[in-house]
Amino acid sequence: MVELGQIALILSFMIATYSTVVGFAGGMLNGRDLAASARWGFYSICPLLLLATASLIYAFVTNDFSVIYVAENSNLAMPKAYAWVAFYSGNAGSLLYISVAFSIMAGIAIRVVNKKLPYTSPYALGVMSLVLLFFLAVILFLANPLDRHQMPLEDGQGMNPLLIHFGMFIHPPFQMLGLISVALPFSIAIGALLAGRGGRDEWVDQGRLWGMLSWLLLTTGLLLGAWWAYTILGWGGYWAWDPVENSALMPWLGMTAFVHSIMVQKRRGMFRMWNMVLIIVSFAMAQMGMFINRGGPVPSVHSFAESTMGWIFLAVMAVTLFISLSIFIYRYDTLRSRSGLDSMISRESAFLAQNVLFLLIAFVTLWGTIFPIFSEAVDDTTMTIGQPFFNKVNGPLMILLVLLMGIGPVLPWRKAGWGSINKMLRVPLIVAFVVLLSSLISGINQYWVLIAFSVCSVSVTTVLQEMISGTKARHAHGEKWAFAFFSLLGANRPRYGGYIVHLSIVMLAIGITASSFYDVQKDVVMKPGDSEVLGKYTFTYIEVSEKSFPDRLEETAKFEVWSGDKYIGYMYPYRAVYPEFQIAATRGAIHSTVLEDFYLVPSEFMEDGEAVFRVLINPLVLWMWASGPVLVLGTLVSLSPNSRKHRKRVRLPSMNMDQNPLEMAK
Amino acid sequence: MLVLSAIIISVIPAILIAYPIIKKIASSASTPDDESSLQADLERRWESALEGIRHAELEMSVGNIDEPDYQWLKQVHMAEAAMVLKALEISIEDEKSLIEKISKATAIISPKSSLEVDYEKDESD
Amino acid sequence: MNLKMIGLLSLQIVFLNFACFASNTNFVSNEEKKVNTLNSVLMCPVCPGESIDQSQNEIATNMRKIVKGFVEEGKSEEEIKDYFVDKYGPVILLEPATSGISMYAWIVPPIALGFAVLVVVFAVSLMRRRQKSAAENHTYGLTEDSISEEEKEKYFSVIDRISNE
C-alpha cells in the first residue's frame, strides 16, 4: 500500500510538471488541445494524491511503524480516529495534506475558470500546476511521509498531546486550506495578466469568487484556532499574537482587503493595479504563513510542524514575489484605470482607505513578528514582542476599521453630497451617542471600550437601517413584511450578504473588546471541600480523581457550581501529564451563557488533592463563537448567484446586429 | 499485484493526457468567446453602467440619497451607457466597412459571395 | 421614523443588559489585578512568545509565585519588572521598552501610519486628476463631448427603455 502511494506521488509529480509546461505552452501558442491535455492531466493528479493519502492513513490505522512518519506521529495507544489528525500533524504529512487539498480545489476552480475565461485558463492552470509542483517536489525530495525505516519499530513516539483535541480535526485542515487557497485567485489574476490583451476586468468575477472562498476558509481557520486555544490551552485566552497566529492573520488581512477592492474594479473599472498588487502580496503573506509554521526563524509555541525547510519556503516566496511583480510591470500599461475618482467622499475612497488600513495592520503585525530577527541582526539580542505591543498598536487601528465598516457601505458610489451623508449617518450617529451614554451609565469607564462600543453601534445601525428601509420600500409596494425582507436580501445578494458578514464582525469585535478589557481572573488554592466565590459564582471543589493511561496521567477535579441561587451543576476541569513529552495539557471547564463564560482550569495539583485553580469570568465570549456561523452564512449569501428572476441581465447586442437596440429604436 | 496496480494508475493519466491531443477535442469545438475582446469589455461596461442606474434608483427609492445626488448619478451612468452604445455603433460601422471591403475584394473573384448575401439579409431586418 | 425609534430603544435595552459586566472588575482585589497584569507582560524564558500567564511550564508557574509574593510584599510594578529584567535581561518583557533597540518597535508603526496616510492622499489626488483628463481611457477615444445632443437623446431613450424592462 505504501509503495503504491509512493508511485502515485512520483506520477503526480511528473504530471504536474507536464501540466505546468504544457499549460503555459497551450496559452502562448493558443493551442487549445494542448491546454485541454494539460487540464485533463491536472484532473488526474487529484485521485493519485488521494491514493497516496489513503496509503498513509492506512499505515497509521494498521500501526505500520516501519514508515518513519507514522512512527514519529503516532503510537499504539493513539485512538484510531486520530489517524486523520496524525496525518497532517507533522511537517511531511501536512505538505501532503496541502497538496491533495489544493489539487481538489484547483481542479474545481480550473474547470469553472475554463468555462468563463477560456483564454486565461491555460495560464492559470500553468500557475496552479506550478504551485502544486513545488509542494510535490518538496515532498518527494525533502520530506516524504511515506519513506520507510530500515529497521521496523515496535511502537511509535506518539502524537503531540496538545493536538489530541476535537478542534484539531477541523482547525488545522481549515487553516492550511485557507493558506493554500489564496493560490487560486492568485493564479487566476496572474493568468489574466499573462493572457491579457484587453480591458483587464475579465478576471474580476472569478477572482472575487475564489478570493471570497479563500477568505472564508482563512476566517474559519482563524476562528476555529481561537476556539481551540480557548478550550484547550488552558489559560483562558484565545489569541496571543504569537508569530504563527500572526502569520495566519496577515494573509487574512490581505484577502479581506482584496475581496473589498475587487468590488470597485467590478463596478467602476478602477483599482486594477491595486487589486493585482493586493493578490500578489496576499499570496506572498500566505507563503510566509506556511514558512513560519514550518520552523522559520521566529520562535513560536505553535510551530508543531518544525523543520528547517521554512527557508525553502522563504526563498520560493521571494522568487514568486519577484516573478509576479515582473509580470505586473510587464503588463503595467494594460492596467490603467477605466475612470478616476469623482469625489473625495465616496464609496470608492472609503474602500481605498479601508484597503490601506488593512495593509497597515498587516505591516505592523509583520513588523512585530519579525522584530526578533531585526533586533538580533542589529543588536545581537532576540527581543520577542508580545501581546501588549500588538494590542496597543493594532487595537486602535482595528477600531478605525470597524468605524469605516460602518460608514463605507452607506456612502454612495461615485459621489456623496452632504445631503445624502446627512440622510444616512444621522441615525447611526444618534445611536452611537445613545450607546455611549448608556455604557457610561452602566459603569464602563475604559475609554477604549467606550470608543469601540460606540463605533460598533454605528456599524450595526447603518446595516440595520439599510435593511429596514429596504424592506419598508418593498413593503410599500405591497409585499408582506417577511417576504419583503427576504426578497430584499435575495435581490442583491453580494450587498446584503456583505452586510451580514459585517454584523458578524461586529459581534466578534464586541466579544473581543469586552473579554479583553473586562475579564476577571483569579488564582485560588483549594483543598477538597473548600468553597470560593467569584462574582455571582460560588464553586465548591469536591474531589480529584486520578486516572492512569499508558501515555498519560489524568487528574480530574470535580466542582459543584452555583450562579447566584441557580444551581448550574458539576464541572470537570482536568489536567493531563504526558511524561514522555514533558507536557501538561489542561482542559478548562466552561459554563457559557450569552453574557459571560465561567471558566475553571487547574494549573497545579499538589499533595492531598490540594490544587491551584485559575478561575475566570470572560464576558461576551459566546458572541465571538456565534459570529462564526453568521459570517459563513453571510459569505455564502454574498457568493450565491442572483436568481434568474432578479438577474435582469441586459445583454448588449452582438456584432452581427440581430436584436440591435439601436436599430429597434429607430 | 503492486506492479499491476502501478501500471493501472499510470495508464489512466496517460490516456487522459493523450486523448485531447489525439482526438483534437478542443480545437474541433467552436472557438470560445474571447473574454478580453472589445465586445466583452463593452458588455461589462454596459452592465456596470446599467447596474449604476438601477442602484441609484434603488438608493433613491429607499431614501438613502438626496435628489441632487440621484440626478447626478443617473446622468453620469446614462452618459457612460451612451458611450458604450456609441462605441458599439462605431465598431459595427467598422465591421460594416470591413465586410464591404472584403465583399468588394471577393466580388472581383466571384460576384455573389456569401458574405454579401448575409450582409444584405441583416440590413433588411 | 417610528421603526427607527423602536430600533434605537431596543438597541439600548440590549446594550444595558450586555454592559452588566462592567462591574466585573470589582470581583477581584487590586493586588490580584496587579498580579494578572504583571503575569501577562512577563515572558516565560523557555517558551518564547508566551507570557507566564499563558504558559503551563513549571518555570512559568514558579515565576507566577514569585510575582505573587512580591506583590504581597507591596513592591511596585516597576520594581518587580526590574527584578526580572536584572535576572533575565530585557528580553523577559513582552512589551518592548521605549529605549534602546526596542524603541524601533514603537517608532516604526507611527511612521507606517504616516506613510499610509500619504499614500491615500496621493492616490486620491491622482485619481481625481485622472477623472478630469479621462479622455484617452475610453474606447475609440470617445469622450462625453464626442456624442452630439441628438445622438445622446436617441441613446438615452434606448437606455431608459432597457433599464426599465
* Residue from the list A7, A118, A269 with its beta carbon closest to the beta carbon of B35: A118
Among the three residues A131, A164, A197, which one is the final residue of a domain in this structure? A164
Helix (H) or strand (E) holding A584: strand A583-587
- Which grid cell is B37? 475582446
pLDDT of residue A422: 81
- The answer to whether residue B86 neighbours chain C at the CB level (below 8 Å) is yes
What share of chain B has pLDDT > 90, as a percent? 0
Give the pLDDT score at A357.
93
Least confident of A485-489, B23-27, B93-97, B105-109: B105-109
Candidate from A110-119, A329-338, C118-127 with smallest mean pLDDT:
A329-338
The pLDDT, as a whole number, for residue A46 is: 94
Q: In whole angstroms, give the CA distance from residue A181 to residue A212.
A: 10
Report if pTM > 0.90: no
- A:175-214 residues touching chain B, CB 8 A cutoff: 192, 195-202
| Same-domain status, A493 and A556 | no
Using DSSP bridges, classify how beta strands A583-587 and A520-526 pair: parallel, antiparallel or unpaired: unpaired
C152 contact B CB<8A: yes
A256 Cβ contact partners less than 8 Å away, ≥ 6 residues apart: A215, A358
A661 touches chain B (CB under 8 A): yes
Strand pairing class (A537-548; A553-563): antiparallel
In a domain, A294, yes or no: no
Q: Are residues A502 and A562 in the same domain?
A: no
How many helices (H) does chain B have, and how many strands (E)? 5, 0
Query: Is the pLDDT reported for residue B122 higher than 60?
Result: no
**Distance from A40 to chain B by nearest Cα, in Å?**
6
Compare A484 and A253 and report the one with higher pLDDT.
Answer: A253
Using a CB-CB cut-off of 8 Å, the residues of chain B touching A116 are: 35
CA closest to A444 among chain C residues: C22
Chain A partners (3+ C-beta pairs within 8 A): B, C
Walk across the sheet containing A520-526 and list its strands.
A520-526, A611-619, A596-605, A589-592
Residue A643 has pLDDT above 60, yes or no: no
Cβ separation A300–C154 shorter than 8 A: no
Contacts of A543-552 with C-beta under 8 Å, sequence gap 24+, read A543/A609, A544/A605, A544/A609, A544/A611, A549/A77, A550/A76, A550/A77, A551/A75, A551/A77, A551/A158, A551/A161, A551/A578, A551/A580, A552/A161, A552/A576, A552/A577, A552/A578, A552/A579
Rounded CA gap, A449 and A439, in Å? 9
Rounded to an integer, the average pLDDT of A127-154 is: 88
How open is the CA angle A220-A224-A225, to the nearest 5 degrees?
115
Residue A635 lies in a domain: yes
Assess if residue A247 is contained within a domain.
Answer: no
Assigned C-alpha cell, C55: 504558559
What gap in Å lies between CA C164 and CA C110, rounded to an integer?
51
In this prediction, residue A190 carries a pLDDT of: 93
Average pLDDT over chain A, rounded to an integer: 85
Taking CB atoms and an 8 Å limit, are B85 and C155 in contact across chains? yes
B82 at the C interface (CB within 8 A)? yes
Round to the nearest angstrom and report the end-to-end CA distance of chain A.
73
pLDDT band at residue C142, thresholds of 50, 70 and 90? low
Tell me B30's DSSP state. Answer: P
Do both A461 and A527 map to the same domain? no
Residues 6+ apart with CB under 8 A from A574: A554, A555, A556, A557, A586, A587, A602
Residue A331, in any domain of the structure: no
Q: What is the pLDDT of residue C164?
A: 65
- Residue A11: strand, helix, or coil: helix
Percent of chain A topping pLDDT 70: 92
A308 pLDDT exceeds 70? no
Domain count within chain A: 3
Instruction: Mutate one of B64, B73, B83, B92 to test the C interface: name it (highest C CB count within 10 A).
Output: B83
Pair A403, A551 in one domain: no
The mean-pLDDT minimum among A468-472, B15-19, B104-108 falls in B104-108
A412 to B64: CB separation less than 8 angstroms, yes or no: yes
Smallest Cα distance from C38 to chain A, Å: 11
- Identify the band that residue A307 occupies on the pLDDT scale cut at 50, 70 and 90: low
Same domain, residue pair A476 and A533: no
Shared-domain flag, residues A41 and A54: yes
> Are A549 and A470 members of one domain?
no
The number of residues in chain A equals: 666
Q: Convert the pLDDT of each residue in A309-353 to its tens digit.
A: 777 888 889 999 999 999 888 888 777 777 777 777 888 888 999
Q: What is the pLDDT of residue A657?
A: 40
Mean pLDDT across chain C: 77
Residues in B closer than 8 angstroms to C146, CB to CB, are: 86
* pLDDT tens-digit readout, A173-190: 888 899 999 999 999 999
Q: Which of A115, A123, A413 to mutate to test the interface with B (most CBs of B within 10 A)?
A: A413
**Is residue A268 within 8 angstroms of chain B, CB to CB?**
yes
Which residue, among B21, B22, B36, B96, would best test binding to A if mutated, counting the most A CBs under 10 Å from its CB?
A: B36
Min distance B80 CA to chain A CA atoms (Å): 11
What range does the domain containing A69 cover?
A: 1-164
CA A121/CA A194 separation, integer angstroms: 10
Q: Using an 8 Å Cβ cutoff, are A122 and A23 in contact?
A: yes
- Within 8 A of C12 by CB-CB distance, chain A residues are 434-435, 438
Cell of A35: 491546454
Q: What is the pLDDT of residues A37-46, one digit of tens each?
A: 999 999 999 9
pLDDT-derived band of residue A217, with 50, 70 and 90 as boundaries? very high
The pLDDT tens digits for A59-89 are 988 888 888 888 888 888 777 778 888 888 8
Q: What is the DSSP string of A613-636?
A: EEEEEEETHHHHHHHHHHHHHHHH
Residue A279 confidence (pLDDT) above 70: yes
Q: Which residue has the cell 494573509?
A: A251
Contact call for A240 and C119, based on CB within 8 A: no
More confident residue, A10 or A297: A10
Judge if A44 and A115 occupy the same domain.
yes
Q: Exposure pattern of A208-233 as b/e (b: 16+ CB <10 Å)?
A: bbbbbbbbbbbbbbbbbbbbbbbbbb
Are A456 and A553 members of one domain? no
Kindly state whether residues A544 and A616 are assigned to the same domain. yes
For chains A and B, CB pairs below 8 A equal 176
Supply the pLDDT for residue B100. Answer: 74
Chain C residues within an 8 Å CB radius of B63: none
Instruction: Please indicate, yes or no, if residue A585 is contained in any of the structural domains.
Output: yes
Query: Are A3 and A119 within one domain?
Result: yes
Q: What is the mean pLDDT of residues A541-570?
A: 88
Q: What are the sequence ranges of the domains in chain B?
A: 35-124
pLDDT tens digits for range C65-115: 889 888 888 888 888 888 888 888 888 888 877 777 788 888 899 999 999
Report phi then psi at A641, rounded to 5: -65, 145
Q: What is the CA radius of gyration of chain A?
A: 27
Band (B117; pLDDT cuts 50, 70, 90): very low
A495 plus A586 within the same structural domain: no
